[in-house]
Structure 1
Amino acid sequence: MDKRQSAAEAAVHAAEQVFPDRRMAAAWEPVRGRCYDAAGAYVALTERLEQAERDGIALAQGPQQAQSVTRQLTDAARAVDEFYRGNQAQLEHAVAVLGTVPQLAQQVKVAAAGVRGQAAESEYANYPSVRSQAAAVDEALITLEAAEPGASAATVREAANRLETATKRLADALAQAPSRAAAAKTAISSVTTRLAAARTRAEGLAPAYSALLREFSAASSADLADNERESQRAIEAADAALGRARAAAAAHDPETALDLTTSARGYLTEAEQQVDAVTKRLATLRAVRSDPQEKAKAVRFRLRDAQMLAVSRGLVTEWGSVLDAQVARIDRISETLSGRHPDYWAYVVELDTIADFIAGVVERMRKQAGPRRE
């Protein structure tokens, strides 16, 4: 029993070290308790036998006590066997893993030192990606070395895995570094072209805004008053970022150049949105002015579809009045198109709001159960 208990105890210890979340020790505790109880009973019986022998007397119910203790020892040994067989795969795997942890840690440290050395000697050592990943390797190595003396196998293994991951990322950064210069050159060229296009597009903003003021009510373009200034600010910011990107590329720092071209693209996107907001507003309002009822017809058509869906799904009681109310909303906004300078933009915004509301109702109806007769 003692040998079996010792073997199982060692395996459980390994499992707790390697896979603490499996709580193998908790399952082992009652089995171990039975072993201790049986061993204690054996020791106590032995002491009583020795005392009886010294006193020259027979131990009362000696054979029965011996049988009871023997049975207790046998049952405890059997419990150890059953526990081990029931968890054999996990226990033996834990023992195997525990034995490899020191070797794993050493292998990972050797590999990390090799890649770290390559990074230090590389012509790309000053690239931000290489520097940051090298720092990550250094930090992971310090963590692993600090954990090794007295930490659990699980802790050491986790630290070794972190170091291995950091090493792979550093190796990837080194592998990608040679292509950064070409990528930066391409990005700078692309952004230069886009900047020129944005400036050309921006030239149309002022005339478009002037047309909005002449042709439509002031309320139709009040929210666009700052677009020309904001678009110019964004273009200038893009130009400045592009200039810094060129300088970084010339200084053999293509990664910084790439970051700066990304910033420049963001500014250009902002500038293009400012310009498009004005030119698209003018186009939208002119289209509505030429045929005011066309947009209303499209919303009414969408509303009829929603009403038919409510009927087909048996949801008229719940949604019929809600959808009918949208008819009145459409009628009311259509009646506002009067006077010398109707507020076409308010008309468009209200119809878009109604269309969005109808779409929301349709989505909710489709999620509800009901008869389908479409």
Structure 2
Amino acid sequence: MALVLLPLPVLVAMAPQSFAGGGTRRWFGRGEGQRAEAQAAKDAAATAFYELDTAQRDLRISIETITAVDNSPAARRAAQGYEELGRRIDEVSLGYITAVDSHDLDRDEVDGAAMSRARADLVRAKDELDRVKGELDRFAQGLGPLLQGAETQLARLAPAVERARQALLGASNALDGVRAQGLTADDLAARLAGLAPELTKLNEGAGQHGVQETIRRADEVLRKAEEIRTEAARLPERAAEIDKRLVSLRTRAQAITTRAEKVDPILSELRRRYSAACWQDLQQVPEQAAQSVRQAQVKLREAQQARDEQRWADATSRLGTVRALLDGTDAAVSAAGDRLQRLDAVSFDRQKEVERTRFAIRDAQRLAMAGRHTPDPRHAGPLDDAVARLERAVASLEGRHPDWWHFLTETEAVRETAARVVQEIREARGTAGG
């Protein structure tokens, strides 16, 4: 076949088609402009789709953070709202994918009308994506307080667990320290061993037991381990304190025994010099004192045994019983000597006791009249009764065998009445002044 040479003007006229290849798209004209617009709409829709997908992933992380920590109604509503929003996202995403799949913008034979439809579908898909993206953004903003609370809880999780582990280690080291001093601390060791299951659950993590429960467990383990460590650290001091109390209470029991032996002579003197009413209530003091001291010595031996066996709580309890027994015995033994001393003093000079009591009454009467023309009946009545009671007590001393002890108890009761009235007046005036 011969090569035919064409004129230059003809070659120039054919150039746009022949250089591009037969049947290729045209690069100029209305159709290509529509294709470009459709492609721009497709690119914009793709961007909107990407932004929505990214925002949904971020929101999912926020929801997972909240639900991992918070089981409140608000958190449950947030999770439900996220699910509903997810369904709308799926719908508009499907609409976008359908629009993209329905229009092949790269095919040469697509006409202008098809390009317009493609552009319209893609713009509509983008608008739907943007609309749902706006809903998602508003929903995410509403999660602010819930998310902040959840993140705060999560921020506490790791430090709380670590503090619990360190507290357990500290308690274990403290136990080792007191054992090195010869103290067994078996009860503390048992309490520490009882925390082992809790440590196992802490190690299993929040994924299995929940964030809030794990934090609660960590705080509880921390508290109990700190108690064990503190008690272990104080154990040597506690042992020394118990030893000191054992010695002190033994010495006191011996001293009270010696003093109790002097009660019988005091009772003899009371019986010889005063009426029966003055000493009858003291008759059983020697026997009761001896019995109490014997009980105290038994408890002391039990306390010593508990200390030797390092049963610290039992030792402390027994020592408390010993102290109570000796306190009561000491008071009873002292009462006999005090009774004789007071009876001797009042029988020698009754007027001193009478004047002391009258002074208390007059002092209360002056306060009751301060700033008043007449006293308040609530105060005047008890004071008038106190005056009469004192007069009866003085009159009761007439006779061959006066009951001096009754006289002393009556004057003491009168002074207590006066003191009570004074207190009531001051409280009433303090309230009124306030």
Q: TM-score normalised to the size of structure 2?
A: 0.65
Checking the alignment, whether the CA contact within 8 Å between 2:65 and 2:151 is kept in structure 1 is: yes
Measured in 1, the distance between the counterparts of 2:362 and 2:376 equals 13
Q: Is structure 2 residue 312 aligned with structure 1 residue 312?
A: no
Q: Deviations over 1:153-202 (max 9, x none)?
A: 1332133213422431353145537x73x972x55554454344323322
Q: Deviations over 1:249-291 (max 9, x none)?
A: 8x69796888766655444333322211111111112222222
- Which of the numbers 137, 157, 168 marks the counterpart of 2:192? 137
- Which of the numbers 389, 400, 412 marks the counterpart of 1:352? 412
Displacement after TM superposition at 1:134 (Å): 2.3
Measured in 2, the distance between the counterparts of 1:338 and 1:238 equals 45
Q: Is structure 2 residue 145 aligned with structure 1 residue 83?
A: yes
Measured in 2, the distance between the counterparts of 1:50 and 1:253 equals 79
Aligned residue runs from structure 1 range 328-367, under 5 A: 328-367=388-427
Q: 1:73 to 1:257 in 2, by over 3 A?
A: closer
Displacement after TM superposition at 1:348 (Å): 1.7
- Which of the numbers 216, 219, 233 marks the counterpart of 1:172? 233
- Which of the numbers 280, 285, 290 marks the counterpart of 2:348? 290
- The one-letter amino acid paired with 1:131 is D
- The one-letter amino acid paired with 1:73 is L
What is the match of residue 215 of structure 2?
154
What is the match of residue 20 of structure 1?
none
Displacement after TM superposition at 1:371 (Å): 10
For structure 1, the 5+ residue unaligned runs are: 17-22
What is the match of residue 73 of structure 1?
136
Secondary structure of the structure 2 residue equivalent to 1:280 = helix
Checking the alignment, whether the CA contact within 8 Å between 2:163 and 2:222 is kept in structure 1 is: no
Measured in 2, the distance between the counterparts of 1:121 and 1:372 equals 65
Q: TM-score normalised to the size of structure 1?
A: 0.74
Measured in 1, the distance between the counterparts of 2:300 and 2:64 equals 65
Q: 1:170 to 1:330 in 2, by over 3 A?
A: closer
Measured in 1, the distance between the counterparts of 2:259 and 2:232 equals 44
- The one-letter amino acid paired with 2:141 is R
Aligned residue runs from structure 1 range 250-265, under 5 A: 264-265=322-323
* % identical equivalent positions: 23
- The one-letter amino acid paired with 1:97 is R
What is the match of residue 278 of structure 1?
336
- The one-letter amino acid paired with 1:161 is L
Q: Is structure 2 residue 277 aligned with structure 1 residue 216?
A: no
Displacement after TM superposition at 1:74 (Å): 3.3
Checking the alignment, whether the CA contact within 8 Å between 2:156 and 2:215 is kept in structure 1 is: no
Checking the alignment, whether the CA contact within 8 Å between 1:217 and 1:343 is kept in structure 2 is: yes
Q: Which of 1 and 2 has higher RCO (CA within 8 Å, sep 6+)?
A: 1
Checking the alignment, whether the CA contact within 8 Å between 2:67 and 2:76 is kept in structure 1 is: no
Q: 1:198 to 1:155 in 2, by over 3 A?
A: same
Measured in 2, the distance between the counterparts of 1:344 and 1:148 equals 78
Q: 1:351 to 1:188 in 2, by over 3 A?
A: same
Q: Deviations over 1:298-318 (max 9, x none)?
A: 222122222222222656244
Displacement after TM superposition at 1:338 (Å): 1.7
Secondary structure of the structure 1 residue equivalent to 2:182 = coil
Moved more, 363-372 or 224-233: 363-372
Measured in 2, the distance between the counterparts of 1:269 and 1:368 equals 38
Checking the alignment, whether the CA contact within 8 Å between 1:312 and 1:372 is kept in structure 2 is: no
Measured in 2, the distance between the counterparts of 1:139 and 1:367 equals 54
Checking the alignment, whether the CA contact within 8 Å between 1:4 and 1:77 is kept in structure 2 is: no
Q: 1:95 to 1:325 in 2, by over 3 A?
A: same
Aligned residue runs from structure 1 range 218-233, under 5 A: 218-233=276-291
Q: Is structure 2 residue 326 aligned with structure 1 residue 268?
A: yes
Q: Deviations over 1:113-169 (max 9, x none)?
A: 4444555565222xxxx2332222222334444676454113321332134224313
Measured in 2, the distance between the counterparts of 1:76 and 1:261 equals 68
Measured in 1, the distance between the counterparts of 2:220 and 2:430 equals 56
Measured in 2, the distance between the counterparts of 1:233 and 1:305 equals 45
Q: Which has the higher Rg, Structure 1 or Structure 2?
A: 2
For structure 2, the 5+ residue unaligned runs are: 1-54, 103-116
Matched length: 352
Secondary structure of the structure 2 residue equivalent to 1:124 = coil
- Which of the numbers 181, 187, 194 marks the counterpart of 2:252? 194
Measured in 1, the distance between the counterparts of 2:289 and 2:251 equals 17
Moved more, 338-347 or 151-160: 151-160
- The one-letter amino acid paired with 1:275 is V
Measured in 2, the distance between the counterparts of 1:98 and 1:248 equals 43
What is the match of residue 98 of structure 1?
157
Secondary structure of the structure 1 residue equivalent to 2:219 = helix
